[in-house]
Structure 1
Amino acid sequence: MNIQTVSYLKANANNLSLDDPLHVSQNGKEVYVVQASQAYYEPQETIALLKLINLSERSLNQKGELSLDEAFDA
């Protein structure tokens, strides 16, 4: 885990390597995590997909059961 101070982040913001997240501390406490945007968006998209699956399962359970054949019927 790469831990640096806010001062380090300010001084080196233009040439940071974000292969791994950078944990930024202030007054000895971790306050920020800087990471590549792709590393941020992938889990967000996974969470959104899981929420959609959860909503569809709830909707399905309220309206009755649906077979796999019916679910994938075009």
Structure 2
Amino acid sequence: MTTELPRWSASSYSGGGGECVEVATNLVAAHGTVPVRDSKNPSGPALTMPATAFAAFINGVKTSAAIG
């Protein structure tokens, strides 16, 4: 069992304005999950999703951005 804590990061595209989401991809190997939280409320709840679902979400966003 691992006691590794999430290492939160935001996209470099967020501009550091605090109006974005943060992800902790460092937990994928140990848990197979990606926690996501609101950067404006770092002590609030985090949504944890399977890494495969997160990857599908990111691919969908990239595809949508390339089309639009």
Q: TM-score range by the shorter chain?
A: 0.3 to 0.5
Judging by fraction of residues, say which structure has more helix: 1
Structure number with bigger Rg = 1
* TM-score between both structures, scaled by the size of structure 1: 0.32
What TM-score do you get using the length of structure 2 for normalisation?
Answer: 0.34
